[in-house]
Amino acid sequence: MQLGIVGLPNVGKSTLFNSLTKAGAESANYPFCTIDPNVGIVPVPDERLKLLGDMYHSKKVTPAVIEFVDIAGLVKGASKGEGLGNQFLANIREVDAIVHVVRCFEDPNVIHVDGSVDPLRDIETINLELIFADLEVLERRFSKVAKAAKMDKTLAKEEALLVRLKEWLESGKMAKTIEVEDEDEAAILKGYNLLTYKPVIYAANVAEDDLADDGASNEYVQRVREFAAKEGSEVFAICAQIEQEIAELEDDEKAEFLNELGVKESGLEKLIKASYSLLGLMSFLTAGEDETRAWTIKIGTKAPQAAGKIHTDFERGFIKAEVVNYKDLLEQGSLAAAREKGLVGMEGKDYVVKDGDVILFRFNV
């Protein structure tokens, strides 16, 4: 899974990226200190893996990972080349979802590019830049399709969609909010890879005092939540500065520090939950002496396709899946003991994989 982090300069975006990835992107109190898109790979925290790895004495424990792409602080006119231009927008065309960091804290020592704190104005600024960048993509596509449609009537449907979509974006709306007429239109729309079609998670960057109640008493965060609810986006409150401090700690110190703050989970854990929920993802597990590993799949994936995540041969030659819930496996202490208790199922091609399933695939190529 790849997430692109966007936001105006000085909203805490690179501080958050640094803390999530410990990658050390430059973070300073001036715009454009992020010149190249910084990429960081972050393991998904999963206590099930450690427990299973210990049980099997696995030589290797491999978590699922998320790739974060940090984009330079966008400003008004970025899509037209202002600031560092739209080269950065191109870098997030490939991501699965956008993490939009919005400033929800007052601090006279950290200047705001627009002179005051207003998260909804900031969201609108970024959204307009994404819209402008998408309109350029649609213009180029429209000129190709309009010419070709004269000779090929099958392109008439796409041409009509492009006209509707262009009008929709020009009215300031995001591509993901447009209604499509059928599956064909949905497939065409998805194929454009538009920035305004991507799911969004808003990271409301708050002061330390607002963390304990998850930003509930912060008026700015409430505005962001109301806005996000209308477009079906996720929101979580985070304090980028605190995340940076947490990133320097060992796991046991981290838990103690969060406890002192009255916070149950770190910003990274909140972000992972929000992204899995928004994208409809979950993990199944494989376990053994050589390796215990988590694999990320879409909710609703059937056994053969889950097997294909490990290797295409597993999907091609799929016979059966030997499935046990990780809790049952841990309680019984071994796969053999779980089998004896009748807790292991032999599942076929129509089995829908569940979160926390530990699976041994049988295949023949």
3-state secondary structure 163-191: HHHHHHHHCCCCHHHCCCCCHHHHHHHHH
Q: Which of 17-31, 293-307, 344-358 has the lowest mean pLDDT?
A: 17-31
Contact of 233 with 211, CB cutoff 8 Å: no
Provide the 8-state DSSP code for 210.
Answer: G
Contact of 11 with 102, CB cutoff 8 Å: yes
Percent of the chain residues topping a pLDDT of 70? 89
The number of beta carbons lying within 10 Å of the beta carbon of residue 273 is: 14
| pLDDT reading at 26 higher than 60 | no
Tens-digit pLDDT profile for residues 121-139: 999 998 998 898 899 889 9
Q: Which of 106-115, 192-201, 266-275, 336-345 has the lowest mean pLDDT?
A: 106-115
In whole angstroms, what is the distance from residue 40 CA to residue 21 CA?
5
| pLDDT reading at 285 higher than 50 | yes
Strand 345-347 versus strand 97-103 pairing type:
unpaired
**Mean pLDDT computed over every residue of the chain:** 86
Give CA torsion, residues 75, 76, 79, 83, to 10 deg: -50
Contact of 180 with 189, CB cutoff 8 Å: yes
Residue 74 pLDDT? 59
Residue 27's pLDDT band (cuts 50, 70, 90)? very low
Give CA torsion, residues 151, 156, 162, 165, to 10 deg: 170
